Chain A
């Protein structure tokens, strides 16, 4: 029945309208500038629904596109997604190759159609240790970056292949190589040399499938006093835009209701003044 109703063009218009209005309402309040996603649970989803692993990953990609759309509609400026960990190279060769293929195809599609990118003016950036990638994929990623580099409205960071420890090591090495005088080396300088350097501070980290671990993703960023970590129990392909909107609403509510509650809890008075 519900399926049948949703085929009417009018219902589609109404849902579209409601969605937009909800996003506008959310964007009137405080909204996180930078959101990070650990997209966990694609394979478990495939297993539960008796699909092939490939289909699970594809479903995950679909879910990502929808969730990102909601984020950008609500006024999020930067989204960082954990697409591929350096540790993922330890998976079976078949799966790694397949993931690389999927990445290549999707990037080509995104850049080719330019749907998401054009509508939102999204700049795609690829974060991570790109030396570890096969040459052809590397080229596709670079092309995607190049094509979207003039977009200014929102940024999508794709971490591929990334681990936070690698990121920190890389930043430290960069700082050492540049040969700054010791006094110039500050927390800010190291942060600027991370892959996420120059972007707004991470405000919200979302992890799916009820795993209470950070799994080497944005460790430096997420220990910040103002960064909230949200762990949801659904698997990533089941993570709906409605849930995303609810989390954004909750975040905004938290900021209005409590202010910078961690700083208050540990009694740092000057913290709010600084930020």
Chain B
């Protein structure tokens, strides 16, 4: 039998690696942050340590011209020296013949790239118009009834959903912290309307983790908009790597702060559980777990042969969470951007090419896709 590893220790270490000052207890820290935020009364705070996040080219329409420019730039100075090794031998000075040969091939390649970029533009436009069509065809109308009837047609729905959201700059439409919280709240409402009770939200920088009170309010407001003031669902927000839980609303009342939570009944049935993940829950958590196990092994409390797949699975489920059945990415292309690797073993992946908004059509299509897929482990 393998003894349980002291998870507190791991969590503590991970919290530290997330550059959170651990002299104060994490609970207190988040509370302080919240109070500070309330005092300032604005959401326009800098995000994390990286300073204000700037506009990203990949989201805008101008990127076509900018990227087109890139092709010409690379024609003048092919940066990728590594690929030229097929043409030039290492250490030798290339002869003129070799150089001419290389540039002829490179010119052909560039011409192909230019054709591809035109093709890409058409593809982009067709994808966008397809998305526009979908968003008209599938509209939630902020009504749980509509969502419910959409989802009820499906033969099966996932039990756990995970979604990857991206922080957009404030200048953009639906950007900034407010936009991100709004997106998160929207997804939570859709999940709840379709009967999914577990949602994890991955955001690379962990912006949401640092702004739990704002998120809480956003979800609360969204729930009122969806379900009405009479029956506001109970929800709870979890940050697994800090081992924190924040009751969101209980019996239709928003739990504003930790101290208030004491006044509420203890055994509450939560309708939905929202877990917040960021890049620290990915590889760094596995590394941290290794570090703790190495220390324990040195003290003789753990034998290396006790580290089995099942044991790792247990620990990582504790530290990060259970494996989601479906991962929905609201981003223009498929990329996991550091998502916890242990957790995506059999998860179905869904994204819409060139989509950059968190819209209901994508969510519903993901569920539709999921309902048709068949998982057969190894068979």
Contacts and interface: CB of A to CB of B under 8 A. Distances in A.
Nearest to B298: A179
A225 B166 CA distance: 14
A255 B70 CA distance: 10
A176 B283 contact: no
A30 B108 contact: no
Contacts of B7: none
A229 B335 contact: yes
A261 interface: yes
A214 B334 CA distance: 12
Contacts of B116: 249-250, 253, 257
Most buried by B among A33, A249, A256: A256
B86 interface: yes
Query: In terms of DSSP, what is the predominant structure of the interface of chain A?
Result: helix
A256 B70 contact: yes
Contact of B83 (A28, A185, A261): A28
Interface stretch (A48-56, A83-91, A107-115): A83-91
Contacts of A256: 70-71, 74, 113
B80 A30 contact: yes
A53 B39 CA distance: 69
B258 interface: no
B334 to A, nearest CB: 5
B160 to A, nearest CB: 15
A172 B70 contact: no
Nearest to A211: B373
A8 interface: no
A223 interface: yes
A267 B203 CA distance: 12
A166 interface: yes
A265 B58 contact: yes
Interface stretch (A10-18, A19-27, A120-128, A139-147): A19-27
A253 B167 CA distance: 26
Most buried by B among A165, A216, A231, A250: A165
Contacts of B204: 266
A213 B347 contact: yes
A156 interface: no
Nearest to A95: B379
A249 to B, nearest CB: 7
Contacts of B85: 75
A134 interface: no
B277 to A, nearest CB: 12
Given A28-B102, A227-B335, A256-B113, A212 B350 contact: yes
B346 A216 contact: yes
Nearest to B326: A212
B345 A262 contact: no
Nearest to B57: A264
A175 interface: yes
Interface string B320-347: 0000000000011111111111101111
Contact of A25 (B71, B112, B298): B112
Contact of A168 (B86, B109, B294, B341): B341
A165 B298 contact: no
Contacts of A169: 307-309, 312
A190 B290 contact: yes
Interface string A60-90: 0000000000000001000000000111111
B8 interface: no
Interface residues of A, number: 65
Most buried by A among B58, B71, B74, B378: B378
A250 B123 CA distance: 13
A125 B348 CA distance: 30
B290 A176 contact: yes
Q: How large is the interface on B (under 10, 10 to 19, 20 to 34, 35 or more residues)?
A: 35 or more
Interface stretch (B24-32, B48-56, B182-190, B227-235): B48-56
Contacts of A249: 112, 116
A190 B286 contact: yes
Interface in A158-185: 164-166, 168-169, 172-173, 175-177, 179-180, 182, 185
Nearest to A270: B50
A212 B369 contact: yes
A252 B117 CA distance: 12
A165 B335 CA distance: 20
A170 to B, nearest CB: 9
Nearest to A226: B335
Contacts of A176: 290, 293-294, 297, 302, 304, 307
B120 interface: yes
A262 B82 CA distance: 22
A257 B379 contact: no
Given A29-B109, A213-B346, A264-B57, A75 B83 contact: yes
A220 interface: yes
Interface in A187-236: 187, 190, 211-216, 219-220, 222-225, 227-229, 231
Contacts of A26: 109
A261 B336 contact: no
Interface of B: 50, 53-54, 56-59, 63, 67-68, 70-71, 74, 78, 80, 82-87, 102, 105-106, 108-109, 112-113, 116-117, 120, 166-167, 169, 204-205, 282-284, 286-287, 289-291, 293-295, 297-298, 302, 304-305, 307-309, 312-313, 331-342, 344-350, 369, 373, 375, 377-379
Q: Which 10 pairs between the two chains have the least Cβ-Cβ distance? A: A87-B378, A223-B336, A219-B341, A28-B105, A177-B304, A173-B307, A212-B349, A28-B106, A262-B335, A257-B67
24 contacts: A27-B83, A27-B105, A28-B86, A29-B83, A30-B80, A87-B378, A91-B379, A165-B313, A172-B312, A185-B291, A187-B283, A190-B287, A213-B346, A213-B347, A213-B348, A214-B344, A214-B349, A215-B345, A219-B344, A224-B338, A229-B334, A256-B70, A256-B113, A264-B58
